[in-house]
């Protein structure tokens, strides 16, 4: 057993420690999407951030995305939260797991940990999930469609992995469980250890003791999702004129028949749907910066006036709220699903805000300050670094 170090405090590891001394360039070249990587002691002291009680408290919250997975006599059961403290306390000694997604939105250190993975673009980082399991607990052998970093927060877990191509799932199961799982490699993870797995890599984590796993998941839009969402974007933004007309219509004894000329005229109308690269860029910027559907912003209860805001910005700087997504593509900036109409002079500072998710204390010009003030009033950012 690892000794618990009561003096230790959690600090977000720097990039070097996070990747075990490897450069991100080498990580992407040799491991990303290619092969698993085990890094011992990459993120120590996570048990100081969230313990079992802390996670169970999150799982009871209305705004948390919680799941409970139980494995009873070869049967997998899943229930969705929020849960009550009483039902969580009544769980048996073995073979279950409670998982909470989006912990980055509920815990500031969780948010800092997720953002420590910004050696990948924010547009790819998805969320932080934290799970608790007593001995025997886990979610079964499965694969995910995204890359994942699995970090041991508390206790010990055995991770078994497989490079198998056979990804057939058990039928009629509420969880995605592999029909067959052939273990290639296995590791015991201790607190702080981190395992990277590429997408579609089969894995199975079984708790050996009371155990917590922190998973950094990546966003992998499907082609179907992109196409459907772009069609919705087009629907909202298309503006075509013209009305169907048939000055050459002639008498028909078959009124049930759609005239060929009408079908061809209507097809010509549909063919007027066109889009440019700029339309697709605009859609991509808005879509990727759109917060998840359950996310709502809390505007400040007693907002500072514009002059006080400016003084505090000068003295303390500001940072994006954990819920805010700010990205840029070409010369355009996108904040929480909206395109920002920014004067060209503002671009360097907006880029800095998007990259670092913060701006230091300083004297910023009127145009930027008033834009930031609007975002502050919406709850998109908070004063102080």
Point out which residues bind Co ion (CB under 5 A). Answer: 144
**Which residue shows structure tokens 């996108």?**
334
CB of 99 to Co ion, least distance (A): 10
Dihedral, 156, 157, 158, 164 alpha carbons, nearest 10? -150
Residue of minimal Cβ distance to ligand SIN: 131
CB of 228 to ligand SIN, least distance (A): 26
CB of 134 to ligand SIN, least distance (A): 12
Report the residue number, 19 or 130, with the smaller CB distance to ligand SIN: 130
Report the residue number, 189 or 354, with the smaller CB distance to ligand SIN: 189
Report the residue number, 163 or 315, with the smaller CB distance to Co ion: 163
Considering CB distances under 5 to 8 angstroms, the limit depending on partner class, which of Co ion, ligand SIN, none binds residue 205? ligand SIN
- What is the secondary structure of 127-195 as a DSSP string? EEEEEEE-TT-S--SB--SS-EEEEEEES-EEEEEE--S--PBPTT-SS--BS-----EEEEE-TT-EE
Distance (Å, whole) CA 138 – CA 160: 12
Secondary structure class of 321 (helix, strand, coil): coil
Report the residue number, 81 or 217, with the smaller CB distance to Co ion: 217
Query: Count of CB atoms within 10 A of residue 288's CB?
Result: 18
Report the residue number, 147 or 282, with the smaller CB distance to Co ion: 147
CB of 144 to Co ion, least distance (A): 4
Interface residue list for ligand SIN (CB under 6 A): 97, 99, 131, 138-139, 144, 148, 150, 203, 205, 213, 215
What lies within 8 Å, CB to CB, of 133 at 6+ separation is 96, 97, 98, 157, 207, 210, 211, 212, 213
Quote the tokens at residue 297.
Answer: 């912003």
Considering CB distances under 5 to 8 angstroms, the limit depending on partner class, which of Co ion, ligand SIN, none binds residue 138? ligand SIN
Residue of minimal Cβ distance to Co ion: 144
């Amino acid at each position: 057993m690892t000794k618990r170090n009561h003096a230790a405090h959690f600090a977000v590891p720097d990039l070097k420690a996070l990747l075990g001394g490897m450069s991100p360039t080498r990580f992407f070249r040799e491991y990303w999407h290619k092969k698993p990587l085990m890094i011992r002691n990459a993120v120590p002291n996570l048990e100081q951030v969230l313990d079992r009680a802390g996670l169970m408290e999150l799982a009871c919250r209305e705004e948390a995305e919680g799941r409970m997975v139980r494995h009873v006599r070869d049967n997998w059961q899943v229930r969705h939260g929020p849960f009550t403290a009483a039902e969580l306390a009544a769980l048996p000694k073995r073979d279950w797991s409670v998982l909470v997604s989006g912990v980055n939105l509920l815990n500031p250190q969780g948010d800092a940990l997720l953002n420590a993975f910004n050696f990948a673009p924010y547009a790819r980082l998805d969320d932080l999930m934290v799970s608790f399991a007593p001995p025997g607990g886990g979610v079964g052998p499965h694969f995910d469609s995204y890359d994942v970093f699995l970090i041991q927060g508390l206790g010990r877990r055995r991770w078994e992995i497989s490079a198998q191509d056979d990804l057939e799932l058990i039928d009629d199961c509420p969880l995605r469980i592999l029909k067959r799982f052939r273990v290639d490699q296995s590791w015991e993870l201790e607190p702080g250890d981190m395992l990277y797995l590429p997408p579609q890599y089969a894995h199975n984590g079984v708790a050996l003791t009371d155990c917590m796993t922190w998973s950094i998941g990546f966003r992998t839009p499907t082609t179907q999702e992109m196409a459907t969402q772009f069609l919705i974007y087009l629907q909202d933004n298309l503006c075509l004129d013209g009305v169907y007309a048939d000055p050459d219509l002639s008498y028909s004894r078959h009124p049930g028949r759609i005239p060929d000329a009408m079908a061809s005229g209507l097809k010509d109308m549909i063919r007027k749907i066109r889009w440019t690269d700029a339309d697709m860029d605009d859609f991509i910027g808005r879509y990727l910066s759109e917060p998840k559907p359950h996310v709502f912003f809390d505007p400040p209860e007693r907002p500072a006036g514009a002059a006080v805001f400016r003084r505090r910005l000068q003295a303390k700087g500001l940072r994006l709220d954990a819920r805010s997504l700010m990205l840029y593509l070409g010369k355009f900036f996108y904040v929480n699903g909206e395109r920002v109409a920014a004067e060209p002079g503002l671009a360097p500072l907006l880029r800095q805000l998007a990259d670092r998710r913060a701006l230091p204390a300083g004297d910023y010009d009127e145009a930027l300050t008033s834009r930031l003030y609007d975002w502050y009033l919406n709850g998109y950012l908070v004063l102080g670094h």
